[in-house]
Every structure is written in C-alpha cells, then in structure tokens.
C-alpha cells in the first residue's frame, strides 16, 4: 500500500483570473477563479495508450528504486503511486501540472480522460478466487476547506469522499491508519506515525491483490534448498516445486515464465537472469515497448505450452527501508520537482487556502508468495503542507529460481502492471 501525503491546489486549470485574496483565521484563503478545460471523455484508443504510458512510468520508477537500493529485495506498486499523482493532477496547474503529466508519461492528457482512466482501473472485475481492489481517500485539516470541484472529482472518479479531521489529535492518525489497514486487509496496518503542524491534507491510495494459482504447488514437495546471492554467497530458502505445461520463453538475458492465477485474467511473470547476467541487467531493459513485445510473445506461446520443471522460493517481501518508502527524491529526479517546492508548487484547486505543496510521498508495500498463491498490498500517501497559521511439449525445461530474479503481477488482457519487485534471497 502506497501512502502519499501532499498539499495541492487547482483542478487541472490552465489559466487563472486574478482575484482578491481574503485572509481568514486558518490561513490565506484564495478566491482565485480557474478557467479549466476538462476535455472529452476517455476513448478506447486513449485507454490503450494510457495502459502503455502507465507501464512506462512503472518501469521508470522501479528502475530508479532498484538502482538506488542495489542488492535489496523490493516490492512496489507504481500504479498506486500513479493514482495518487493523478489525484494531485486534478488539483494542479501550470508547471506543476506539466511535470506531473510528463512523469506519468501522459503528455498533454486532459483531466477528464485521465480521471476516467483511473476510475476504470478501480473498477476491474473480480472473478473466481482472485481479488483486486483499489481504494482512495482524501483528508483535510479541520478549519480548511476543499474546493468544490476537487471534492466532486474525487468522489465521482476515485470514490474518495472528502473528510475533515483534527490533525492535531492522535485520533486523526489512528483514523488514517485504520483506513489503510482496512483497505489492505491488515497487510499494511500503519502508513503514518504523526502529522506535522503544517500538514493540511492527505491523499491516499491502497491496492490489494489476493490470487490463487491456477495450479497450486504441493506443500509436501517444498523443502530447504540453496539460493545463491549476487555476491556468490549462499543461504537456505524454502523452495516450492511444480511440473506442468507453462507459458515460457527465453533469450540470452533471461528465462521468462508466466504463472497464471485461477482468474485467468491475472498472472505473475518471473524473469530469471541467465548465467553471467544480473537482475540489474533485466531492469535496465524494462520499458513499456519491451513489456508489450514480451506479452505479445506470451500470447503466441500460450497455444503451445512447454513442460516446465519449476523450482521457486516461497517468499515474503516488505518495504521496511525508509529510503525505499520515501519517493520524494525519486519523483523529483524523474522530472516532477516543483510540486515539492513551496515557492513553485501550483495546487490552487484542492483547498481554499494558498501555498500548498507536497511535503512527502510515501509508499509501503508487501507481498507473500506461497504454495497456494499470492497476496500483495500497497498504500501510497501524499501529504500536502502549506501556510497553516493555525508452448511445444518436448523435453522438459528447467526453471530453477535459485538466484535473484524479477517478478511482475499484471493483467493479461490490458498488460497493466499492479505490482513489481525483486527477490534477492
């Protein structure tokens, strides 16, 4: 679950009509009127393009996390981060909005189409034993008001009713953490420890996935085996085993295996480096074009399943390192620094107060892969601060994941990635 806490402003407005700004007891209240063109509805062509764009953002963010944290097991949901950035975009304008769209890869997308795209992501159909759930929440400090247009968009597109809390009370932190825990089925019980005196608003997204394998591993076959780390040291892991026809392909960089969940609409891709290659070599190759090509090859290989002898560690990964949780530096380096700058951030249509900027964007995520399936969750929080003043079946293929690998959970039809990470042992 990714937690993003930020202070933001306008609802995707491009022009402003100056107005007098009245001072009140809670801060600098702005009555500025924004001329906004929300644009037309989302088209089928745009949806396909946005699927590729959001995956481009996914791989860019994931690459940055891996490069900054070499050798660490990582689990993340860039899609959760993207959802929070889209909510911020709804209240941004000017340079801040341009940077947000550039980082997301959505170019000059209009607000309505972008909001409708993420609305569709929230409403993905759940079938059989697989559950995919996305949720959003918006909170403001008591004494500060959300702009009506922002409230309307958050409720309409993100199913996030605006709530007002007394940020100075511990009850506010408890309420936010309770929301986080409830929307991740307890996998992420807490996203914030405290709220700063300057925090005026908190935007949240949570994503929860629970999928059973189409063909589960047999628990009796799981046993302790050697796992070789990238520094050539070894450790013992609980290795699961399964032999069956699977969707498989390989090249000089990796072996790729597609493991389906019982829904048949979701799957996990395991990318195992070939001898002499490392996880970082795969990560550097990952782009939206690369992912599209890989999935196209999967479609063809589904016709002819290959007999695969699979050995895969049973593992749990959780983002405990604050350097991985805190996305402020990464997002700034990817091209969106102004939203974190109190002097440059432009978020005029979130609250009826001036000077909003994003003080932090945090994501917490966790994944558990076992014999039955996969459970994963992520919460992203953005805190907004401001001036408070108050296959062919031939010979078997051996896929032995006994060294670090990359894993991806995605939608088989759209290709959209929900979770991505590395397992380093």
Q: What is the pLDDT of residues 134-152, one digit of tens each?
A: 999 999 999 999 999 999 9
Q: Which residue has the higher pLDDT, 365 or 302?
A: 365
Q: Residue 323's pLDDT is what?
A: 79
Confidence of residue 21 (pLDDT cuts 50, 70, 90): very low
Confidence of residue 1 (pLDDT cuts 50, 70, 90): very low
Residue 237 clears pLDDT 50, i.e. is over it: yes
Cα separation, 79 vs 2, in Å, equals 9
Q: What is the 3-class SS of the chain, one letter each residue?
A: CEEEEECCCCCCECEEECCCCCEECCEECCCCEEECCCCCCCCHHHHHHHHHHHHHHHHHHHHHHHHHCCCCCEEECHHHHHHHHHHHHHCCEHHHHHHHHHHHCCCCCCHHHHHHHHHHHHCCCCCCCCEEEEEEEEEEECCCCECHHHHHHHHHHHCCCEEEECCCCHHHHHHHHHHHHHCCCCCCCCCCCCCCCCEEEEEEEEEEEEEEECCCCCHHHCEEEEEECCCCCEEEEEEEEEEEEEEEEECCCEEEEEEEECCCCEEEEEEEECCCCCHHHHHHHCCHHHHHHHHHHHHHHCCCCEEEEEEEECEEEECCCHHHHECHHHHHHHCCCHHHCCCCCCCCCCECCCCCEEEEEEEEEEEEECCCEEEEEEEEEEEEECCCCCCCCCCCEEEECCCCEEEEEEECCCCCEEEEEEECC
What mean pLDDT comes out for the span 188-214? Answer: 93
3 state SS of 228: strand
Cα separation, 23 vs 45, in Å, equals 46
Confidence of residue 11 (pLDDT cuts 50, 70, 90): very low
Q: Residue 7's pLDDT is what?
A: 37
Confidence of residue 36 (pLDDT cuts 50, 70, 90): low
Confidence of residue 392 (pLDDT cuts 50, 70, 90): very low
Residue 26 clears pLDDT 50, i.e. is over it: no
Q: Residue 388's pLDDT is what?
A: 62
Half-sphere exposure of 389 (CA within 13 A, CB side): 13
- Per residue in 352-391, pLDDT (tens digit) is 888 899 999 999 999 999 999 999 999 999 998 886 654 4
Half-sphere exposure of 351 (CA within 13 A, CB side): 33
Where along the chain do its domains lie? 2-212+317-385, 219-315+393-423
Confidence of residue 102 (pLDDT cuts 50, 70, 90): very high
Determine which of 313-327, 329-343, 388-402 has the lowest per-residue pLDDT on average.
388-402
Cα separation, 145 vs 25, in Å, equals 12
Q: Which CATH architecture has domain 2-212+317-385?
A: 2-Layer Sandwich (3.30)
What mean pLDDT comes out for the span 55-61? Answer: 96
Residue 30 clears pLDDT 80, i.e. is over it: no
Largest CA distance in the chain: 77
Q: How many C-beta neighbours within 10 Å does residue 251 have?
A: 11
**Residues 279 and 406 sit within 8 Å (Cβ to Cβ):** yes
Q: Which residue has the higher pLDDT, 61 or 264?
A: 61
Residue 422 clears pLDDT 60, i.e. is over it: yes
Burial (CB < 10 A; 0-12, 13-18, 19+), residue 23, is exposed
Cα separation, 19 vs 195, in Å, equals 32
Cα separation, 156 vs 142, in Å, equals 23
Residue 2 clears pLDDT 60, i.e. is over it: no
- Per residue in 311-321, pLDDT (tens digit) is 999 999 998 78
Q: What proportion of the chain, given as a percentage, has pLDDT over 70?
A: 86
Q: Which residue has the higher pLDDT, 26 or 60?
A: 60
The strand ranges marked E within 169-233 are: 199-212, 223-228
Average pLDDT score, the chain: 86
Q: How far is CA 165 from CA 54, 195, 197, in A?
A: 32, 11, 13
Residue 278 clears pLDDT 90, i.e. is over it: yes
Q: What is the pTM of this model?
A: 0.89
Q: Residue 20's pLDDT is what?
A: 31
Taking the mean position of all CA atoms in its chain, how far away is CA 120? 15
What homologous superfamily is domain 219-315+393-423 in, according to CATH? Answer: Alpha-1-antitrypsin, domain 1 (2.30.39.10)
The tokens of 383 are what? 């805190």
Half-sphere exposure of 411 (CA within 13 A, CB side): 18
Q: How far is CA 210 from CA 231, 369, 371, in A?
A: 33, 10, 13
Confidence of residue 246 (pLDDT cuts 50, 70, 90): confident
Query: Which of 30-34, 343-347, 389-393: highest mean pLDDT?
Result: 343-347
């Amino acid at each position: 679950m990714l937690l993003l806490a930020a202070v933001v402003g306008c609802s995707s407005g491009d022009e402003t009509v100056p107005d007098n700004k009245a001072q009140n007891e809670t801060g600098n209240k702005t009555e500025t009127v924004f001329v906004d063109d929300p644009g037309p509805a989302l088209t089928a062509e745009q949806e396909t393009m946005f699927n590729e764009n959001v995956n481009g953002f996914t791989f860019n963010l994931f690459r940055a996390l891996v490069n900054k944290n070499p050798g660490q097991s990582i689990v993340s949901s860039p899609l959760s981060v993207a959802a929070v950035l889209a909510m911020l975009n709804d209240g941004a304008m000017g340079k801040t909005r341009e940077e947000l769209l550039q980082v997301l890869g959505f170019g000059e997308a209009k607000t309505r189409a972008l909001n409708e795209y993420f609305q569709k992501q929230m409403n993905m159909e759940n079938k059989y034993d697989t559950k995919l759930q996305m949720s959003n929440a918006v909170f403001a400090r008591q004494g500060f008001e959300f702009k009506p247009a922002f409230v309307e968009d958050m409720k309409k597109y993100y199913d996030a009713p605006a709530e007002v809390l007394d940020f100075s009370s511990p009850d506010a932190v408890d309420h936010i953490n309770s929301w986080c825990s409830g929307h991740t089925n307890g996998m992420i019980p807490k996203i914030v420890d405290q709220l700063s005196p300057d925090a005026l608003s908190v935007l949240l997204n949570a994503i929860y996935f629970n999928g059973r394998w189409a063909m589960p591993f047999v628990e009796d076959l799981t046993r302790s085996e050697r796992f070789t780390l990238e520094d050539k040291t070894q450790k013992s892991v609980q290795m699961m085993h399964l032999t069956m026809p699977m969707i498989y392909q390989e090249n000089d960089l990796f072996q790729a295996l597609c493991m389906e969940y019982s829904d048949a609409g979701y799957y996990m891709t395991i990318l195992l480096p070939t001898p002499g290659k490392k996880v970082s070599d795969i990560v550097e190759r990952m782009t939206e074009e690369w992912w599209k090509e890989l999935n196209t090859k999967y479609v063809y290989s589904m016709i002819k399943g290959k007999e695969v002898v699979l050995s895969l560690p049973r593992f749990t990964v959780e983002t405990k390192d604050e350097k991985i949780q805190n996305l402020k530096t990464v997002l700034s380096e990817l091209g969106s620094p102004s939203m974190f700058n109190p002097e440059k951030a432009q978020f005029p249509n979130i609250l009826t107060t001036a000077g909003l900027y994003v003080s932090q964007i945090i994501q917490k995520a966790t994944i558990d892969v076992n014999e039955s399936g996969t459970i994963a969750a992520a919460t992203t929080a953005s805190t907004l601060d401001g001036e408070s003043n108050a296959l062919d079946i031939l010979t078997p293929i051996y896929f032995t994941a006994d060294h670090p690998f990359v894993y991806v959970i995605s939608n088989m039809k759209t290709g959209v990635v929900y979770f991505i990470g590395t397992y380093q042992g």
